[in-house]
Structure 1
Amino acid sequence: MDITFEIKRFNELSLAQLYESLQLRSVVFVVEQNCVYLDIDGKDEKALHVLGYQNGVLIAYARLFDQGYYFDEASIGRVVVHPDYRGIQAGHALMKAAIAGVYEAYGPQPITISAQLYLQKFYESHGFEVISETYLEDDIPHIRMRKA
């Protein structure tokens, strides 16, 4: 597995990178998960964007926020791996890059996420702990998790 990660501010994204990231998010969050919701939520401009490429193809993506924007702590969201590239540990590589990106951009601090319930064990493997009851977000069971 050879994934190259870049972290960029919104205004540093090329048009192609913006298009690829929005397309990947739509493929998974809207089409695959059959969830009608507004992915383009007006928050991309405030985020740092983690882009994971393999052979020039965007296969993994996440966005990062400083504390106080999404939660009281820094946060990672829109964590996604292209369906054609699952099973090669791309999600784990993405989370390592995202956590390192939070620490580098905002300093070492707790990170809070809103995780889809079925991914609880995945996030626990990266040091996150459940801090809420299950709740529905866009009709999908979620839990809030925190990495101290």
Structure 2
Amino acid sequence: MYWQVCPFEHLTREQLYRLLALRCQIFVVEQACAYQDLDGLDMLPEVRHVMAWEEERLQASGRILGPGVLKDDLIWIGRVAVAPKVRGKGVARQLMQKAMSVAMAEWPGYSLRLSAQVYVRDFYRSLGFAPIGDEYLEDGIPHQDMEFSCNE
């Protein structure tokens, strides 16, 4: 498995297709959420896509929204997707560690935030994220915002 981290403009057409296909497979089909995945953020210059490839197959992906995309003082990690075939093999942990490392290297000193599905909240806790605020429904799925403070 090899890792790729890049802005939108460095993705080939095939890579972009596989990225969007994985996100659709997980978020739209598997989780039965009809939502607008193409939200206009993927193409922004302050966004990085983190992807794990095995040969030509995309196994996992995530998106880092740099400061100013959603909030001036925060970096958001989202669209975390892991192919069913590689779940339970540590790929999600590797993906998050890679995303966190990239975010802290590119934008040092900013806190990291994510919107966690409640059923995987303990996974994010194990990476150092702490719940903030109340649980809420997003697309019919319980979520909770979580934050990793880079200043600790």
Find the counterpart in structure 2 of residue 57 from structure 1: 57
Find the counterpart in structure 2 of residue 83 from structure 1: 84
Name the CA distance, whole Å, in 2 between partners of 1:128 and 1:141. Answer: 17
Q: Number of aligned pairs?
A: 146
Name the CA distance, whole Å, in 2 between partners of 1:94 and 1:29. Answer: 17
Structure 2 residue identity aligned to 1:16: E
Name the CA distance, whole Å, in 2 between partners of 1:115 and 1:68. Answer: 20
54-63 or 20-29, which moves further after superposition? 54-63
Name the CA distance, whole Å, in 2 between partners of 1:129 and 1:54. Answer: 31
Query: Which runs of structure 2 are paired with 1:11-30 in the superposition (5 Å)?
Result: 11-30=9-28
Find the counterpart in structure 1 of residue 96 from structure 2: 95
Q: TM-score, normalised by structure 1?
A: 0.94
Structure 2 residue identity aligned to 1:61: S
Structure 1 gap segments, 5+ residues each:
none
- 1:44 is paired with a residue whose SS is coil
Contact 1:8–1:49 under 8 Å retained in 2 = yes
- 1:121 is paired with a residue whose SS is helix
Structure 2 gap segments, 5+ residues each:
none
Structure 1 residue identity aligned to 2:54: Q
Name the CA distance, whole Å, in 1 between partners of 2:70 and 2:114. Answer: 9
Query: Which runs of structure 2 are paired with 1:100-139 in the superposition (5 Å)?
Result: 100-139=101-140
RMSD: 1.1
Structure 2 residue identity aligned to 1:19: Y
Find the counterpart in structure 2 of residue 35 from structure 1: 33
1:53 CA drift (Å)? 1.0
1:68 CA drift (Å)? 2.7
Contact 1:10–1:49 under 8 Å retained in 2 = yes
Name the CA distance, whole Å, in 1 between partners of 2:3 and 2:133. Answer: 31
1:55 CA drift (Å)? 3.1
Structure 2 residue identity aligned to 1:98: A
